[in-house]
Amino acid sequence: MNICCVAALSELDFERRGVYSYRVVATDAGQPRRSAVSRLDVQVIDVDDELPRFDVAEYHFQIAENLPIGTSVGRVEAVDRDSSPDFRRISYSDDGHNTSKFLTLDSVTGEIRTAAVLDRELVSSLTLRVFAAPAAARDRPEVTSSSHCDVIVGVADENDNSPEFVFPSDGNWTVFVDSEVFRVRSRLVRLDAVDLDDGINAQLTFFLDSEDRGLGLNVESTSGSSNDTIDIILNIL
């Protein structure tokens, strides 16, 4: 009996090709030579050799502040190119940094939800690093750089802060002026107000109370609209 061995000349990859079919010919050394033909099928067995990979390096989501705990922020998704459904199952995890107290990650679906009521005035942006690993190897510590992505969550402002006067304040609201120095439409005093909100929510409009409009004073804003200190000038009419 003669035995022939079949060897692979290149690396076999189930994801590229699952079955290799060959026509094998056996020939003797006699005269005349005689031969036999047989078919050989080589079936490649799939193994969990593909790492899950994210198609993007960063996900960007935005969510309004003051929403209840458990509000959906968004979802990340990695792809595992193994052919077997069992090998394609992915486990998601985060880096466990401080962001984890504001956001939760579903290890199966990749969905991100709020873990706290977000306050834009305290935290305007959150960054969460998410890792993807084969579910069968979720306890394996080694995760390559190609199997993670960063999730950046912007916290959108809600108009939840009222403007506050820096001056006048509860402890200081009196201005002393020399009536002989000031003329009509001259500057009397500068008032400062601030709003902790952002954008249009921080744009302030100033006016005198209707009961005080007959006292001979006018309010004039001298600065742009922002959440910085606003300058107000009172002019003698």
Domain map (residue ranges) of the chain? 53-156, 164-236
Backbone angles phi, psi at 177, to 5 degrees: -130, 155
- Section 218-235 average pLDDT: 58
pLDDT at residue 143 in the model: 47
CB proximity list for 135: less than 8 A, separation 6 or greater? 89, 90, 91
- pLDDT of amino acid 88: 78
Q: Sorting pLDDT into bands at 50, 70 and 90, what band is 145? A: very low
pLDDT at 173: 81
Q: State the pLDDT at residue 232.
A: 56
Which has more pLDDT, 121 or 176? 121
Superfamily of chain region 53-156: Cadherins (2.60.40.60)
Weakest-pLDDT range from 24-38, 119-133, 221-235: 221-235
pLDDT, residue 6, reads: 59
Distance of CA 13 to the CA centre of its chain: 35
Q: Is the pLDDT of residue 37 over 60?
A: yes
